[in-house]
A = this chain, B = another copy of it.
Amino acid sequence: MSLVAVGTVAFDDIETPYGRAEKVVGGACTYISLAASYFVTPVHIVSVVGDDFPSDMLEYMKRRGVDLDGLQIRKGEKSFFWAGRYHSNFNSRDTLDTQLNVLATFDPVLPESYRHAEYLMLGNLTPRVQLRVLDQLAHRPKLVVLDTMNFWMDSALDDLLKVIARVDVLTINDEEARQLSGEHSLLKAARVIHEMGPKYLVIKKGEHGALLFHHGQMFYAPALPLAEVIDPTGAGDTFAGGFIGWIAKTNDTSFENMKRAVIYGSAMASFCVEQFSIERLKGLTPVMIEHRVMEFAELVKF
């Protein structure tokens, strides 16, 4: 079923206890679209880059079934750039540099064919851009998923609340759920957030897994303990891509199927962190993904 994904396509500098990666491909929309492409194609993306973005990467995305019609390529401008350093426990990171570049003036324009999207993934980005995308749709999609972060809660809460009111699923981490709701208990936080609009809430807890809430119903997907976590960058975006990719593929928005989507999202994220940048998301196969999903199933069986 037709899937549109909005978010950044960008460069990252990443420092972890295991090493450094400089000017590697990153961006929420990159991770989302590559992860989703294992479930459904084409994935229609809405984003912006400068002409410094490598054409072979764009070619690779096309080969994976990512439709670039909604990608603006700005001549003479530079792509969005983020630099960050992870602490030894991987639970926190410092932003060392942010250069908005093309993102500073980004006004998304949806190609006509995108306006009838059945599934919409609003990746982490300025809420104002997310609103502009919602406003260009010809009709309400079957499911709208929003991924956001504390940065927008601190700097653009009014706009963010407008977006939140118009989506079906919100994905944020546990601290963000607490900040947004003012409740420490995640159970109570979910109730408050349901009142804001989203019927479904996914709380991402990194190495501790993910929780799905839907009006009193709960589902807990553990994270798979891994021997090596090399780079957590993009894990949340990859989760989102696997999550909506699975739902779009199965065209089933029931709570039961959404549980499976959480598992597929978690499985994709567990691959993502095993290498720097998007490297691990290249060259996966359906068999590898099914095998990883089986490991998740085994992990909780008693």
Q: Is A218 part of the binding interface, using a Cβ–Cβ cutoff of 8 Å?
A: yes
B259 touches A227 (CB 8 A): no
A220 touches B222 (CB 8 A): yes
Nearest CB in chain B: distance from A49 CB, A: 35
Residues of B close to A225: CB separation below 8 A:
185-187, 211, 218, 220
Complex Cα spacing A90 to B228, Å: 28
B185 touches A219 (CB 8 A): no
Complex Cα spacing A88 to B178, Å: 12
Q: State the oligomeric state as a number of copies.
A: 2
Interface residues of A in 188-233 (CB under 8 A from B): 188, 205, 208-209, 211, 218-222, 225-229
A300 touches B185 (CB 8 A): no
Residues of B close to A186: CB separation below 8 A:
225
Closest to A293 in B: B302
Q: Is A263 part of the binding interface, using a Cβ–Cβ cutoff of 8 Å?
A: yes
Q: Is A100 part of the binding interface, using a Cβ–Cβ cutoff of 8 Å?
A: no
B229 touches A300 (CB 8 A): no
B188 touches A227 (CB 8 A): yes
Complex Cα spacing A187 to B207, Å: 12
B187 touches A219 (CB 8 A): no
Q: Is A184 part of the binding interface, using a Cβ–Cβ cutoff of 8 Å?
A: yes
Q: Which 4 A-B pairs have the closest CB atoms?
A: A208-B208, A220-B222, A259-B302, A300-B300
Complex Cα spacing A186 to B224, Å: 10
